[in-house]
Amino acid sequence: MKNKHNKIAVGELVGYIFSGLIALGGLTLAILGIIARNLSNIDNALRQANDKLADAITLGFQPLGALILLFGVILAVIIMVTVGKRVDIEEERLARRAQRFSLEQDNKSE
């Protein structure tokens, strides 16, 4: 059994970091929405910002943060699926090459 270490492509790494930062931003926004609603002071700055955002785009911090988090996760999944397909194609190509080589070696020995 071979122990292979596949290097991560730079684009893949950048994509993972970018999607992770988007998801982290969405999670932060959702947490700020929870904090804004649960503070006892009605006139806190977080609640006022949440209410102004809700008036402007009809979404407060929590639902907007959830949508941004969902977008980041979907982006990461798309990157994983794309890279997974590329790795599978490469493994199949190497397996076919090894099979051809073993058939050629069998024909030469006969």
Angle at 47 between CA 45 and CA 50, to 5 degrees: 110
For residue 9, report the phi and psi dihedrals to the nearest 5 degrees. -70, 150
pLDDT at 3 over 60: no
Q: Within a domain: residue 39? A: yes
Number of domains, the chain? 1
Q: Within a domain: residue 2? A: no
Q: Exposed (0-12), middle (13-18) or buried (19+): which is 45, by Cβ within 10 Å?
A: exposed
Full domain range(s) for residue 52: 12-109
Q: Within a domain: residue 57? A: yes
Q: Within a domain: residue 7? A: no
pLDDT higher at 2 or 81: 81
pLDDT band at 73 (very low <50, low <70, confident <90, very high): very high
pLDDT at 5: 65
Structure tokens at 16: 């993972």
pLDDT at 1: 44
pLDDT band at 110 (very low <50, low <70, confident <90, very high): low
Q: Within a domain: residue 94? A: yes
User: Is pTM, for the whole model, over 0.85?
Assistant: no
For the residues 50-74, what does the mean pLDDT come to? 91
